[in-house]
Structure 1
Amino acid sequence: MTNIRRLGELHVQTARTKAFRVFAFAGAVFPGEWSNLYIEAITQDLLEFAFHARRVNQICDLDTKKFSSIKVLPVVISENDPGNWVENYDWALNRLMHAREFEFGNCHSDHRILFPNAESNLIPLYVKVATDQRSMETISLFGLVNCFLCVVIPEVRRRFPNWLF
């Protein structure tokens, strides 16, 4: 087994674990009073995911592959769409790695109120990121990790059928 193969396997494993966590957060409803706690947890997982997923792209030579748009949301935004959505998977990973400004975004879960006594019911939905070369752009949490789990991992398995992850 080559060192680069094992490195690739480890990056896939770690990125997948972090992607599952971000995916679970992006599909959950939280009371507004918990926002500081879950935002911190998601942010940590998201940044670790982005690092490992970007390395998967580099090691597996996927950074030039065109994936479908990551502007995929688990809900419809009826008001205050942040706009300027990043649709390219690889670009989103790069934005996260080079972030100079970072803003977390939720949507109100008016259709699924799980905490009737809370100040609000929120679904973690996106991050807005600016780099030294790009102004604020919006990245769908769901769309980003969904692309990794449903498109990138199958492509890695196709290219490297003997990899263990």
Structure 2
Amino acid sequence: MSSHQRLAEIHIAQARSRALRLFAFTSSVFPGEWSNQWIETIVPDLVEFAFHARKVNEFCGLMDHPFASIDVKLVSISSGDPGKWETSYRNALNALMHMRSFTVGNAHSDHRRIFLASEANLITLYIRVSTDKFPSATISIFGLVNCFLNEVLPQVRIRYPSFAF
């Protein structure tokens, strides 16, 4: 096995692990009182995911692959939509790698109230990113990891059937 293949496999495994964690976080309802701890858990996973996913694109020759739009959300935002939703998987990864400031966006999960005594039942939807190189963007976290799990990984399997992941 070449070192190139092994590095690619390491990045794939790390990105997939973070993608699955992020999917779990963005499809779970949490009480508003946990917001700070919730965000402190999501952001490092998101940064690590972006790094490894971008390396997968580089190692596997997917930098210019036309992936589907990532502006997919699990729930609709009824009010306070931040706008400027990023549609490009590649641009979203680049924005996350170059971010200088961010805001994690949650929505009220009134359709799935679980914590009845809580101030709010929330679900994490997006990260709003400002960078040093790109315009500000709103990135659907679910859309980003959905693209990786359902489009990037199948492309890697097609191109590199000998990769173990």
Query: TM-score normalized by structure 1?
Result: 0.98
Q: Match for 2:118: what amino acid?
A: A
Q: How far apart in 2 are the matches of 1:96 and 1:76? A: 23
Q: Which residue is equivalent to 2:141?
A: 141
1:116 maps onto 2:116 in alignment: yes
Listed one character per residue, the Cα deviations across residues 104-163 of structure 1 (whole Å, up to 9, x for unaligned) are 100000111000110100001000001112332100000000000000000000000000
SS at match of 1:130: strand
Q: How far apart in 2 are the matches of 1:132 and 1:58? A: 21
How many residues align? The count is: 165
Q: Which residue is equivalent to 1:52?
A: 52
Q: Which residue is equivalent to 1:31?
A: 31
Query: TM-score normalized by structure 2?
Result: 0.98
Q: Which residue is equivalent to 1:85?
A: 85
Shift of 1:32: 0.3
Q: Which residue is equivalent to 1:94?
A: 94
Q: How far apart in 1 are the matches of 2:114 and 2:39? A: 18
Q: How far apart in 1 are the matches of 2:150 and 2:114? A: 28
Q: How far apart in 1 are the matches of 2:87 and 2:137? A: 10
Cα RMSD after superposing both structures: 0.6
SS at match of 1:164: coil
| Identity across matched positions, percent | 55
Q: Structure 2: where are the runs of 5+ without partners?
A: none
SS at match of 1:111: helix
Listed one character per residue, the Cα deviations across residues 30-82 of structure 1 (whole Å, up to 9, x for unaligned) are 00000100111011111100000000000001011110000000001111111
1:129 maps onto 2:142 in alignment: no
Q: Structure 1: where are the runs of 5+ without partners?
A: none
